[in-house]
Structure 1
């Protein structure tokens, strides 16, 4: 009997010690971690959207952690403890059935795109396996005053009426757009490059200078002879979600590149500027598109940007 008590007591002490060392003390240490530069608490609407995100199991398919690995570079810099200062619990996720959402608000800042994608992901990403969340929207005869209907492609729009987001959709999209990873000054990226957005450590001049905001020396000549297959892959990965694989965009939501004078201009300077710095309020074919185009200066190398421009 005494041996059993001794074994049970010893086991309990070992368990308590391990729990203290591996759970309690690290938790206390993490709770003292200050928020990283630029990390802000969620607004009430964004916090409500986070609850919608959790309730609908989004974290089962999407992570919110960028690992210090080359394959994660497309999602942003490696995550740091201060990034999660205002998140309880942290929605790190464990499986990437869908893409990491750490920088969702930077990679796709368009509210219109987010609503279309939420209503039916295949309307903007044909190969998507994400379920449609059309039940977060209402079909009305006409949009209420002050509400803009979701400009769905004809194949996905209801036969009658217009689609407007319900409160849950508005909250969820507000949360997704809040997912923006702030830059960490004076900290090198995990691939050894510069932490300055839009600057490639491999090339201090040329396109990198333009991305950093330095004045251009003049019109940039078209390079020609680029790798069209790689350029197409870059377009598919970075542009097709809005402009579609055929480059024709979505009427009323995202402009057609085929009809864009900037894209078809022999001088690519303005197009390069849009790719590097982003764009909003573009007028194409007499239509003004309010959805913002995100900048790609920090995400693409100089060579990638030139490949995207080759026509």
Structure 2
């Protein structure tokens, strides 16, 4: 009983036991993890702007609705090409000595997972418009708007980054919406979120209960992929389900001379390499290249667009598309 009556001995023993557990359960495993899990070869540290955007992501509570973790369940495959591995987070660092928010994994999915959003939706114009007014690009969105990251101007100044906002979402007609530095930094961070390709020879972990891709199965069976599914998965966010786009932001495909015309090379090139030549509209990213479109997928997508929303153009053949695909690749 002397042990329990000696406060110095009792406290010292408890402290020693606590330090022993801390060393073996927390500190040594953390050091070992840092030695074992190295950043992937193609991983890049965040730029100054991206780090500032990450701080804004934290400050605005984005983690309350968005995760950054692709789990190994099949339903998460829409967010990334593979489940996340520890090496995906090896380059993250503490924000400062007080805040350990390096890995913004999150647990809620009120909004979609953002692990690979920089590849899924790489359009800066879309991301800025989405921040300014989410309902402008996704009518059913419940995400709050962040207008305080932007400013209204009557005239643009040199260096201003204008956000192409449909007229019905403007408070005053002919107002110019300009992104503040905070908005640009936040979008820079969002676009930096991309799954890094694993080194050659390293096999990505499979999703649980993995099912064969419909497009691959269709091609193997001698059929074309589903063009409507490809459109919904890659194009609908900007060009909308109606094919009418968003006035002043994203051009329509309904009645488009590019979609219904005979210059297939221009059409295929825009799908695979993007486009930045139409006045009054934002930049289109290289959707086909980012999504690893095959000639079969491009053909199916083109035929869907050429026969939807009242379009009635002549179907294109796989041979026509493959010839152009190989030429521009």
Match of 2:322 in 1: none
TM-score by length of 1: 0.76
- Structure 1 counterpart of 2:232: 236
1:281, 1:289 within 8 Å by CA — same for their partners in 2? yes
Partner of 2:140: 127
Q: How many angstroms apart in 2 are the aligned matches of 1:66 and 1:141?
A: 43
Alignment match, 2:283: 290
1:51 is the counterpart of 2:51: no
What displacement does 1:94 show?
1.5
User: How many matched pairs?
Assistant: 283
1:261 and 2:254 aligned: no
Partner of 1:164: 178
Aligned pairs (5 A) from 1:61-210 = 61-76=65-80, 77-88=82-93, 89-160=102-173, 161-184=175-198, 185-191=200-206
Q: 1:74, 1:299 within 8 Å by CA — same for their partners in 2?
A: no
Deviation of the 1:31 alpha carbon: 2.7
Quote the Cα distance in structure 2 between the aligned partners of 1:91 and 1:263. 41
- Separation in 2 of the partners of 1:71 and 1:16? 42
- Aligned CA distance change for structure 1 residues 138 and 267 (closer, same or farther; 3 Å): closer
- 2:275 equivalent to 1:280: yes
Report the 3-state secondary structure (helix = DSSP H, G, I; strand = E; otherwise coil) of the residue aligned with 2:177.
strand
Unaligned runs of 5+ in 1: 193-199, 208-221
Structure with the bigger percentage of helix: 2
RMSD: 3.7
C-alpha distance 11-254 of structure 1, shift in aligned 2 (>3 A) = same
1:203–1:302 CA contact under 8 A, matched in 2: no
Secondary structure at 2:53's aligned position in 1? helix
Q: Deviations over 1:101-147 (max 9, x none)?
A: 11111111111111100001111011111110011110111121122
Answer whether contact 2:238 2:245 (CA < 8 A) is retained: yes
Alpha-carbon separation, structure 2, partners of 1:252 and 1:291: 14
TM-score, reference length from structure 2: 0.72
| Match for residue 36 of structure 1 among 37, 40, 55 | 40
SS at the partner of 1:155?
Answer: helix
* Aligned counterparts of 2:142 and 2:87: Cα–Cα separation in 1: 32
Counterpart residue number, 1:219: none
Which segment drifts farther, 121-130 or 183-192? 183-192
